[in-house]
Amino acid sequence: DSGVTQTPKHLITATGQRVTLRCSPRSGDLSVYWYQQSLDQGLQFLIQYYNGEERAKGNILERFSAQQFPDLHSELNLSSLELGDSALYFCASSVGQEDIQYFGAGTRLSVL
């Protein structure tokens, strides 16, 4: 157990809908990262927050957004969902900005 908690584990929704994925980092970790894992793209970095502020952005679609709250948990919001958004979404956390990233078990999103 990495100490990173993601909910829900599975999510099934329809095209056009909006969902929110939640991540609780390890105790004491200030950085949170979001990754998308799909069969044809592998693990892709989406976005990073450090102590509530956005610090790095990857290939995150404009339909996707994230935030980190004062208690350091983070949420990834996916809107106007498309079939191609079906994937595993992982959250990772680290103590600071130059530390090993520890991953949660992921949320499996299925868009039908």
Partner 1 sequence: GESVGLHLPTLSVQEGDNSIINCAYSNSASDYFIWYKQESGKGPQFIIDIRSNMDKRQGQRVTVLLNKTVKHLSLQIAATQPGDSAVYFCAENLNFGNEKLTFGTGTRLTIIP
Q: How many residues bind partner 1 (CB under 8 A)?
A: 25
Determine if 28 is a binding residue for partner 1 (CB under 8 A).
no
Q: Does 4 bind partner 1 (CB under 8 A)?
A: yes
The Cα 55–Cα 32 span in angstroms is 10
**Contact range with partner 1 by CB under 8 A, out of 14-22, 31-39, 64-72, 74-82:** 31-39
Is 47 within 8 Å of 55 (Cβ atoms)?
no
46: left (phi over 0), alpha (psi -120 to 50) or beta: alpha
Sketch the per residue contact string, 36 through 55, with partner 1: x for CB under 8 A, - otherwise.
Answer: ------xxxx--x------x
